Amino acid sequence: MTGGQLSVVSCQWAVATWYHGRATGNERGRVWDDRESSFKKRDLGEATVETLLLIDLQNDFLPGGALAVPGGDQTIPVANRLMPRFDLVVATQDWHPANHGSFASQHPGRRVGDIIQLDGLEQMLWPDHCVQGTAGADFSPDLQRDRIRAVFHKGTDPRIDSYSGFYDNSHRRSTGLAEYLREQGVGNLYIMGLATDYCVKFTVLDAVAAGFRVSVVTDGCRAVNLKEGDDQRAFEAMRAAGADLVTSDKMRG
């Protein structure tokens, strides 16, 4: 990993909001570039860009949040320590409408943890969390967000959840993340964040399937662990799919 492009990457705070239906397999990804105040496409040629992908480092997943992940705040120092080592830093952000169908509050008589059918898929019901425009949906104030080049929203459709940063849970619609990463010439993709057994796992599986060389920064992840050992089972599933498991202290840079 090198810092050669950090002056370009870290000086921007760009939010690429990819609502469902706007980014498909036939439409290449775009990023808002505020240096020129225009949407601009890039092609960096050979896939050599070292990239860190941060998954859902948001207040509602941190201690005191609506869906707090145990130890979730411990991921923030890892992210801050790693970001300067990378050519490109990208993040995902859960971005639910207030009436999202995964919220137990939208189903009278149901409770958090219940399993229902939502738009033809099995769905775990969660407490209301990461509602668009709320403080809970914002990134941790301790995260050095000025180093993040682009942010991809997920879970914007009230009819279906989106654990992965690449697709909704049915794989019907792309967030545009894969297209964007390919445009940027991403080669090695390092992934960390919240939570290991849900959004990190499904993002990693989709990243491997999309052809990226994926490494999971295990000490930069924390799990919900609804069942004891869910975190280790998630790591094993990621490894079996073809991802490498690494720790931040063993990474170059």
Which of 83, 85, 80 is closest to 3 using CA atoms?
A: 85
Q: Which residue has the tokens 């860190």?
A: 52
Catalytic residue among 161, 168, 199, 231: 199
Whether the pLDDT of residue 73 is over 90: the answer is yes
93 in a structural domain: yes
126 in a structural domain: no
Is the separation of the CB atoms in 149 and 12 below 8 Å? yes
CATH code of the domain covering residue 225? 3.40.50.850
To the query of whether residue 87 is one of the catalytic residues in this protein, the response is no
Average pLDDT over residues 154-182: 96
Catalytic residue among 56, 87, 94, 161: 56
Rounding to the nearest 10 degrees, give the CA dihedral for residues 138, 144, 148, 153.
-10
Whether the pLDDT of residue 220 is over 50: the answer is yes
How much is the pLDDT for 253?
A: 61
14 in a structural domain: yes
To the query of whether residue 199 is one of the catalytic residues in this protein, the response is yes
* Global confidence as pTM: 0.83
109 in a structural domain: no
Q: How many domains does the chain have?
A: 1
Least confident of 4-8, 61-65, 93-97, 100-104: 4-8
In this predicted model, what pLDDT tens digit does every residue of 22-36 receive, in sequence order? 333 322 333 333 322
Average per-residue pLDDT for the chain? 85
Catalytic residue among 73, 128, 130, 154: 154
Whether the pLDDT of residue 132 is over 70: the answer is yes
Terminal-to-terminal C-alpha distance of the chain: 6
How much is the pLDDT for 47?
A: 76
Cα 156 to chain centroid, rounded: 14
Average pLDDT over residues 146-169: 97
13 in a structural domain: yes
Share of the chain above pLDDT 90, in %: 79
81 in a structural domain: yes
78 in a structural domain: yes
196 in a structural domain: yes
Whether the pLDDT of residue 230 is over 50: the answer is yes
Domain range spanning residue 180? Answer: 6-97+136-250
| Cα angle value 7/9/14 (rounded, 5°) | 135
